[in-house]
Structure 1
Amino acid sequence: MPVEQLRQALLEHLPDYMVPALYVHLEALPLSPNGKLERKALPAPGVEAAVVREYEAPVGDTEILLAQLWAELLNVERVGRHDHFFELGGHSLLAVNLISRMREHGMEADVRGLFEQPTLAGYAAMTERMEIVL
Structure 2
Amino acid sequence: MSKKPSDFELQILGVLWESAPQTVREVRASLTDEKERAYTSVLSVMQVMEKKGYLRREKASSGNADLWSPAVDRAAVTSPLIRGWVQQLFGGRPSAVMQQLLDGDSVDASEVAEIRRLLKEYESNNDVS
TM-score if structure 2 supplies the norm length?
0.28
TM-score if structure 1 supplies the norm length?
0.27
More helix by share: 2
More strand by share: 2
